[in-house]
Structure formats: C-alpha cells, structure tokens
Amino acid sequence: MDKMKTGTLIKEARIKKNYTQSELGDLLGVSNKAVSRWEKGESFPDVGLLENLATTLDLRIQEIVTGIKDEHDEAALIEIVRAAKLQQRENKRKNIRHCLQIVPLLCCILSGFSALGNNSFIFDSKPTWEYVLFMVITFITVVIVYFSNQQSHDNLNKFSTISKLLSTLTLLGSVLSAWIIMLKTANGSIPFGIDPSSIGPFMNNILVITFTVNLILLIIQMYRYEKHDEAVHWGWFISIAAIYLTTLYGDCMHNMNTFQGMIKDLIIRTAIVTIATGISKIFISIVRASNNHFL
C-alpha cells in the first residue's frame, strides 16, 4: 500500500470529475481536510469509505488501495486486509486519545472549582501540592496527545492564532493584576481605588474570569482537534498554564496569613507554573528535533 500513489490517484479522479475537495468530502461525509490529507499521502481513506469513494470517483476498490489502475485482484485483496489492520490499530490509538483528553479537562475543572470556589470541595486545607500534581498530570497527558498524532503541528489557522493570543493576554493580565494588588496593598495603598474589604472578591473575580476563558479555549481546542483534524499547538499549553496559575493564586488567597507571606507564595507558585510549562516546551522541542534529524 502506497499512500502517495493512492493520494495521486484520488486527486486525479476527483479533478476528472470536477469535484472540489469540499464537494468530495460532502459526498463521502468527511471533511475537506481529510480529503486533502488523502491526496497528500498523509493518511489513507477509512476502509469503510472505500466502496463509496470508488463509486463516487468511478474507480475500483483495488485501484484505490494499491494506487495503480488495473492492479491484480489478489494483490489488491492483500492490501485491503493490510489496510484494515492498520486502521484498526489507528482506531485503538484514537480511542486512547479520546480517554486521555478527558483527564486534563477533569483535572482543570476539579482544581479550579476547589481553589476558586469551595476550597474544601475535594482537598483538605492547604492543598497546594495536590494542585501541582494535577497540573503535572495535565501537562503530561497533553504532551502524550500531542505526540500521539503525527499530523503537522505547524499548520495553524486563524482560530489557533486567536486562542494563543487570548490565552496569553488573560495569563499576563491575571499575573499583573495579582502582583499590582498585592504589592500596593502590602505598602499600605489602595489599588485601583478599591474598597479594602473588596480586594479579595475583586482579585478572585479576575482569577475566575481568567480560569473560565482559558478552560473554554481548551475545550474548543480539543473539540477542533477531534472534529476538524486540527493539530495540538502551543496555545493548549498557554491555556493550561493560565488555568493552573489562577488555581494556585486562588489557593494562595484562601490560605493567606500576611501580605508579605502571600507575596512569597505568589513567587513560588508563579515559578512552579513557569517551570512546568517550560519543561513541556523544551521536551517537545527536543523530541521533534530528534525526529526531524532521524527523518
């Protein structure tokens, strides 16, 4: 089975029928990106689509499988069986990815609800390291999902760019707000003209908004990954960093003793999230560089 030959055959037959990639995708019930990946030789049509694809493009199934016109039936049958086995393994990997994607979302939701809402919902008092553990699990599972799909991770669209920008802005906004409020309050001044009794709720609202925006972004990014074949990109990791930074900041507020002590805690927690995010980025860069070197 030669995916490049099959892709070329599909493209030639599609053009001969005067179909666009979107039109062919609509006829088959798949996305235009799926058709594009077939034609580029990046993936092979699902075995369940072969009959419909062959009928639509006036090809024989064995021709699609082998990528060669008028191939012997016996050789084509062997290739069909091989393709079915390969796709069965790929479907198993997809099911594992589906399960893995539930883990980071569950960790984020539970951590955020506990830290920014009901502090005793899951953990005992002062559960800082439990949140850190959840963050590590989240980063690890997303890294695994990243490498479980070998599609191009550089082919980003407008939404990917917007999501990275929005997650970065909310992350920086929450960090700056927390530091400005804490430093001004520690020095005896009132930040932003806020009533002293309202400083805690004001800060908590900023953290809740940042957490919510980035959780929504992460959910949308995962949905588009599954439904529209979009790659895992760096925006995922920025959103996760923002989610856990607000979680750790919220936990810090709930367990604050003095403003000076809280500033020290903010430094530690900011460093923890920064280090975890940096390690994920470095690990991905090293592995991708190694793969490109061997390729």
Residue ending a domain, choose from 71, 103, 126: 71
Contact of 238 with 167, CB cutoff 8 Å: yes
Q: Is the pLDDT of residue 289 over 90?
A: no
- C-alpha span between 229 and 250 (Å, rounded): 35
Q: Report how far Cα 204 is from the mean position of its chain's Cα atoms.
A: 26
Amino acid letter for position 47:
V
> What is the pLDDT, as a whole number, of residue 64?
81
* Residue ranges in the chain assigned as alpha helix (H): 3-16, 21-28, 32-39, 50-57, 61-66, 73-116, 128-148, 158-186, 199-227, 234-254, 259-294
Query: Using alpha carbons only, what angle is made at residue 86 by residues 82 and 87, rounded to the nearest 5 degrees?
Result: 115
More confident residue, 188 or 78: 188
Burial class of 292 by CB neighbour count within 10 A (0 to 12, 13 to 18, 19+): exposed
Count structural domains, the chain.
2
Measure Cα distances from 74 to 63, 66, 86, 133, 240 in Å: 12, 11, 19, 55, 51
Q: Is 165 contained in some domain? A: yes
More confident residue, 119 or 165: 165
Say how many C-beta atoms besides its own lie within 10 A of residue 244's C-beta.
29
Q: Is 214 contained in some domain? A: yes
- pLDDT tens profile 213-267: 999 999 998 888 777 666 777 888 999 999 999 988 888 877 766 667 778 888 8
Pair 40, 156 in one domain: no
More confident residue, 286 or 238: 238
CATH number at residue 52: 1.10.260.40
Pair 272, 195 in one domain: yes
Average confidence (pLDDT) over 196-211: 83
Pair 206, 266 in one domain: yes
Average confidence (pLDDT) over 164-185: 86
Provide the whole-model pTM: 0.67
> What is the pLDDT, as a whole number, of residue 295?
36
Q: Considering only CA atoms, which of 107, 121, 119 is closest in space to residue 253?
A: 119
- C-alpha span between 12 and 95 (Å, rounded): 33
More confident residue, 263 or 2: 263
Pair 26, 161 in one domain: no
- pLDDT tens profile 23-51: 888 888 888 888 888 888 888 888 778 88
Q: Considering only CA atoms, which of 116, 132, 9, 3 is closest in space to residue 59?
A: 9
Q: Considering only CA atoms, which of 141, 46, 137, 131 is closest in space to residue 99?
A: 141
User: Which structural domain, as residue segments, surrounds residue 42?
Assistant: 3-71
> What is the pLDDT, as a whole number, of residue 211?
92
- pLDDT tens profile 91-149: 676 777 677 778 888 888 888 888 777 655 555 555 577 888 889 999 888 888 777 66
State the DSSP code for 295.
-
